[in-house]
Structures are given as structure tokens and as C-alpha cells.
Amino acid sequence: MPEIQINYLAVLLAAVAYMVIGMIWYGPLFGKQWKALMGLNDESMKKMKMTALQAMAGGFVTALIMAYVLSFDAFVWSDFFGSSVGQPVFALQLGFWIWLGYVATTQVGSVLWEGRPWKLFCINASNTLVSFIAMAFVITYLQ
């Protein structure tokens, strides 16, 4: 296995991509549906413990961590898939399998244990799928 070198610019840009997709997903695309399924409205959101800016800052930190780990995984998984980093099919596979194995399986707990609707799971899980694939494209092309 070659020495793993993390491209920190790729990590930063992947985290930005994650945040932009989230803003679009939970804004104009599915924002109204998501709020309704969560039982939220504009008034209740204003009463949350964190401001929107604080939540976004925390979300960006977590996006940086995900992008960093995904960057590391790109090297490890390239041997498994027999693909070289930078190929579109590799980015799709990497994003999908990481999402399926760790994210979707974790998020389904909200339906199984918290009684959340499947529609909410689909909105959240599809956001992370699209986000992980986008991050994988950024990371694999800039590695």
C-alpha cells in the first residue's frame, strides 16, 4: 500500500460541498417537508438552544472530520475496488459503500427506535448519500 497523503485542500472543499448540498437539501428542495416531519415550524426553530450559525459551525466541523476520514478511506478502498483514485466509478462506489455501511444503517435507527417516519429517513439518508458521493468526487479528483 502506498503512503497515504491527505490533500487538506480536498478535505476543505469536500466539507464545503457537504454543507452546500445540505443547505440546498434542507432549504429549497425538502425544507418544508423536513420541518413538518420533524414537527418544527419557524417559531419553534427560533427557540432552539443553538442559533443557526452555531449549528452550521458545528456541522462544518463534523463535515471536515467526515471528509478527512473519507480521504483516508479513498486510499484504503482503492485497493479493494481495484480502481485508481480519480476514476468516476471509484468515487461513486466509495461514496455509496461508506454511506450504506455506516450512515444509512445508523440513520435507520431513527425509524426503528425513535418512531420517526420513513419519509423523514428517506430525506435525511438521501441527503447523506448525495453528499458522500459529492465529497468522494472532490476528494478522489484532488488526491
- What's the predicted TM-score (pTM) here? 0.89
Domain residue spans in the chain? 8-142
Q: Residue 116 — left, alpha, or beta (φ > 0 → left; ψ -120 to 50 → alpha)?
A: beta
Q: Pick the closest to residue 36 from 119, 115, 106, 126 (CA basis).
A: 119
Model pLDDT for residues 10-47, shown as the tens digit of each residue: 999 999 999 999 999 999 999 999 999 999 888 877 77
Confidence at residue 46, expressed as pLDDT on a 0 to 100 scale? 76
Residue recorded with cell 425513535: 114
